Each structure stands twice: as structure tokens, then as C-alpha cells.
Amino acid sequence: MSTKTKVDYCHYNETQVRESGLLSPERMTEVTAAIDARISPCFDAHGVEIPKAKLADCGPAKGRMLFMRFDHDRDMEYMRRDIMAGVLTDAELELINDACLSAQSAAKDAERFAKAEKVEAWDGGAFWGDEYFADMEELCDRIVSDGGEWPEYVWAAEPETVFTGLDVADVVEDAISNHGWEDMDVNDFNGVAELQAALDKFTEANAAVHSYQPNYKKAVLLAAWKAAEQGA
């Protein structure tokens, strides 16, 4: 008989957990207050506080831990996640580690959808999850072939120009960084004007080359598309 290893670390920070909606706002207030209460200042042998060090009560599994060198917000976040693992119940911690990312994404999508323009007729590309479809026919064919449930909506796709402009400095940046001398810049090279002219010509020639991104302000409703496919 196998036993499940107890999880003692939270993979997500407080903002992500809050945005996921997996815990109630009241519970998140309790969690944040409990985390704050478990962080203590650290002092040297002379009683002087060490500004970039904290003592943290991480719960029975880990006990009190010393965290040092808070040079970045992510260092504090790491400590708070460690503490949060000791504040949450086992059931809460397991739920968050298993479902936080998908729940956060769903909550964010729901918020975007509530604010978005809803359209039924659409002749452009679309995004279903992270996947781009060149047109609605291609999207509908995929849904039908997958045999899955139809989503309520997908996001309209909008084109994004790949090259909006190139500068000589961008082109030579790696060479300067890897092989140049200290304080070297683009003005130390010859033929800069000629290269810039060529880059401008290249940008113009590729003005019609686009990538596509989801337009979170326009949701394409699929009820009519679903009905048309099922009636075909």
C-alpha cells in the first residue's frame, strides 16, 4: 500500500492564490495576517537589526528558518511561500498546488470575458486557449474532430507586425557585449548609416509579415457556429 508524500511547500504566491479564487477573500485575509505574524526581525550580536535578514516560522514541518540577502522582491516572495505552506491546511495546500494555475487562468478569462465585446459573426482568426486558428472554419473543424465540448467563446485574433523598426544598435548589441571594449557603442563602427538604410529597407519589405495575438477585448460567441455544424 503506497502512502502519499505530504506536501510542505506552496508553489504559488499570495497574489496568484488570491486571483485563483480557490480560497475565500476572508480566508486569504487570515492567511496574509498569519504570514505577517510569523516573520520576525533578525539582530546581530550587538542587538542591531540586520535589514536584509528575517526569521520565519515555517510551521511544524520546517520550524524556524533564517532567510538572508533580500536583494529582490522574489526573495521575500520565496520566504512568504515557505511560511504559507505552514499556514494553510493540508487540504488547502494540496488544492492550491494542483489547481491554482488553471483556476487563476479561468478567473482571469472570466473577468476579461465580462468586459469584452461579444460578437457572433467573425471572419478573422481566433485563439482557442493558446492555439491560433487562421479562420473560424479551421477552429470548428478542430472542435468537431476532437469530439470535445464546444466552448462558449474564443478570443478574436489580431495581427501584430513582427518588425516595427530595427536599429543598428540592436544588431550589434551582442557583438559589443561579447567582444567589445568597455564603453564601446555603435558610433565606434564604420558603415553605420549604410547598415541603417538597409535595415529600414528590410523593415519596409516585411511590413506585411504578422504574428497573431489574442484580442481580449473581443470574444467570439460560438453558439451559432455550433448550431451550424450540428445542423450540417
3-state SS, the chain, equals: CCCCCCCCCCCCCHHHHHHHCCCCHHHHHHHHHHHHHCEEEEECCCCCEEEEEEEEECCCCCCEEEEECCCCHHHHHHHHHHHHHHHCCHHHHHHHHHHHHHHHHHHHHHHHHHHCEEECCCCCCEEECCEEECCHHHHHHHHHHHCCCCCCEEEEEEEEECCCCCCHHHHHHHHHHHHCCCCCCHHHCCCHHHHHHHHHHHHHHCCCCEEEEEEEEEEEECHHHHHHHHHC
Look at the chain and report how many structural domains it folds into. 3
Range of the domain at 190: 168-205
Mean pLDDT, rounded, for 11-17: 94
User: Which is more confidently placed, 84 or 148?
Assistant: 84
Q: Which of 65-74, 147-156, 186-195, 198-207 has the lowest mean pLDDT?
A: 65-74
pLDDT given at position 84: 95
pLDDT, tens only, 110-149: 999 999 999 999 999 999 988 999 999 999 999 999 887 8
Residues 138 and 220 in one domain: yes
Query: In this model, does residue 4 exceed pLDDT 60?
Result: no
Residues 50 and 76 in one domain: yes
**pTM here?**
0.65
Residue at 9 is within a domain: no
